[in-house]
Amino acid sequence: MKEWGMTPDNSLGAPLAVSMGDACGIGPEIIARLWCRDAPRDAIVVGDVAVLRRAAALVGGGLAVAELQGPEDGARVPPRCLPVWQPEGLPAGLADAPLGRVDARAGAAAARCIEAAVGLIRSGRARGLVTAPIHKEALHAAGSPYPGHTEMLQALAGQDGQPRPVRMMLANEELRTVLVTIHCSLREAIARVTRKNVLETLRITQTALVRMGFASPRMAVAGLNPHAGEGGLFGDEEILHIAPAIADARALGWDASGPYAPDTVFMRARRGEFDVVVAMTHDHGLIPVKYLGVEQGVNVTLGLPFVRTSPDHGTAFDIAGRGVADPSSLAAALAMARRLACVPSN
């Protein structure tokens, strides 16, 4: 953590940074609703002040919005007041962007807030990051080269010009799943299921779960094909790549097993047989967790030199501006970030 300006002496005194997400989605709204409900005292919002004031007016409750000169001022705002630090470089007139629609200005602002929040962490002025949802189309419209949060943070945390290897974990009280591949076509995802990538995922998962308090994490590895390939009848990725990676992991002393049929391994993990399931593709891994309810699901980026969590849902353009968005998943993400920010990172 030293390279990011966070030492055991100063990191716990810094706030958690909450990036506002897409200004046209429900991100600002759930932030305002969370502060109305819980009034967190250990976090600040990195975002556009006018956008957050629009959101505060939308949810009601008389929430005031304070513009901070620096993140350190967040602890001094009065109760029931939303502390917002607005970074330089945000598009003008962002609060006029229509809710529920893709807007390049919102995409540019979301990216800038993420960059600025990471800058705070790097300098030791924040101790972790909670990201409100962004919209990938808006990000693309703004000219961002990244398809989502994970890839952007991977690049921002890179070393010597190389992106840092990271993985996505989605977790709730009943199930944890880590993905080998994320935001790419299914055809490309299958090509990325290699012995090297599966083993790297197991390494990142092992390190992260040990840091979270699991002495010897029980890692179940899901197959890629139906019935985990059925001995090569339905595909050979399990034989050529996944099983060899599991053997490599076991040779390193890790409790990894499989490959298991993807349609049953999540039930076994939910019953307590495993601590985490490593899934090969985005939808294989995320559908089971999201089916249990997005309200308590948390997305955690593993492998970063700092804590990053986010809610288990997107921008919800269909309900943006209606005042009905539920902040529960954001609250769970903030609670998870608090726990993880007290533990040394990579």
Is it true that the peptide bond before 305 is cis, omega within 30 degrees of 0? no
Helix, strand, coil abundance in the chain, percent, nearest 5: 40, 15, 40
Q: What is the pTM of this model?
A: 0.86
Distance from C-alpha of 19 to C-alpha of 176, rounded to nearest angstrom: 24
pLDDT for res 151:
87
Contact yes or no for 218/319 (Cβ under 8 A): no
Query: What is the per-residue pLDDT for 343?
Result: 54
Token pair belonging to 118: 């990471």
Half-sphere exposure of 23 (CA within 13 A, CB side): 29
Whole-number pLDDT of residue 294 = 65
pLDDT at residue 16 in the model: 96
Domains 1-165+303-346 and 173-292 alike in fold: yes
- Give CA 187 to chain center in angstroms: 24
**Given this model, what pLDDT does residue 282 score?**
93
Give exposure, 214-234, as e/b (b: 16+ Cβ within 10 Å).
Answer: beebbbbbbbbbebbbeeeee
Burial class (CB in 10 A: 0-12, 13-18, 19+), 104: middle
- How far apart CA 312 and CA 336 sit, in angstroms, is 12
Token pair listed for 92 = 């003008």
User: Domain 1-165+303-346 is in which class?
Assistant: alpha beta
**Residue 146 is which amino acid?**
Y
Domain ranges of the chain: 1-165+303-346, 173-292
d(CA 109, CA 87): 10
Helix (H, G, I), strand (E, B) or coil at 15: coil
Residue 259's SS3 state is strand
Chain length of the chain? 346
Residue for token digits 């985490």?
276
Q: Are 46 and 87 in contact (CB under 8 A)?
A: yes
Q: Domain 173-292, CATH 3.40.50.11540 — does that match?
A: no
pLDDT of residue 12: 54
pLDDT in tens, the chain (346 residues): 334 444 333 445 899 999 999 999 999 999 999 999 988 999 999 999 999 999 999 998 889 999 999 999 998 999 889 999 999 999 999 999 999 999 999 999 999 999 999 999 999 999 999 999 999 999 999 999 988 888 899 889 887 777 788 999 999 889 999 999 988 899 999 999 999 999 999 999 999 999 888 999 999 999 999 999 889 999 999 999 999 999 999 999 999 999 999 999 999 999 999 999 999 999 999 899 888 876 678 999 999 999 999 998 899 999 999 989 999 999 999 999 998 887 544 4
44, two tokens: 């600040």
Cα–Cα distance for residue pair 155/179, rounded to 1 Å: 18
For 144, the 3-state DSSP assignment is coil
